[in-house]
Chain A
């Protein structure tokens, strides 16, 4: 059971290049997320998905696109990389269970992808 796997682990891009980050989970979770984390900052949500074939914008979606063609995979794309997108990217997946009328949501994270855009 690998949990959440992110590829690649490291990448260096030149400004204007494109790339796709892959996230795969083997826990049969419905929900998946992409975050970015900059030095000294918390995690900021880029995009998320509540199920196969669905995606939604998070807090900082500009410059990124996502796709969830299969339940286990969530792809993050950068069409034209910019230096401001230099960051560590984390993928997460979660299940939600409903008790007391509220949602118990626990997220499981990948190891991260360190991206530098020169």
Chain B
């Protein structure tokens, strides 16, 4: 089970680019990296997923270095509405033993300041 480490909180001003890094030193060869966003009083929402190098969608970019021991979620020009908790998940949800192997942890609370 790949353990992940993220900063507990981050602050940013509106219009800035925000980068949230997740460390996952024991990532397995076939593990994918997935990020979710959770607004207050709502369920988490999938943002982006990647395996290596760079992935970009309409919401964010995900940068994964060659050794894959970390990943960085990049949010361009954040607004107040990006204030949320961001979770990094790494691993295969179902191990060979059949037990579930993904956990959300506490995530990173991003506060965007006007």
Contacts and interface: CB of A to CB of B under 8 A. Distances in A.
B57 to A, nearest CB: 12
Interface stretch (A12-20, A69-77, A79-87, A105-113): A105-113
A107 B30 contact: no
Contact of B104 (A42, A48, A108, A112): A42
Contacts of B51: 99-100, 102
B95 to A, nearest CB: 10
A42 B87 contact: yes
Contact of B31 (A40, A90, A102): A102
A42 B43 contact: no
B110 interface: no
A104 interface: yes
Contacts of B94: 50, 96, 103
Given A109-B43, A112-B43, A103 B93 contact: yes
B103 interface: yes
B21 interface: no
A108 B102 CA distance: 14
8 contacts: A42-B87, A44-B103, A56-B99, A90-B43, A90-B44, A102-B32, A107-B44, A110-B43
Interface of A: 4, 31, 35, 40-45, 48, 50, 56, 58-59, 90, 92, 94, 96, 99-112
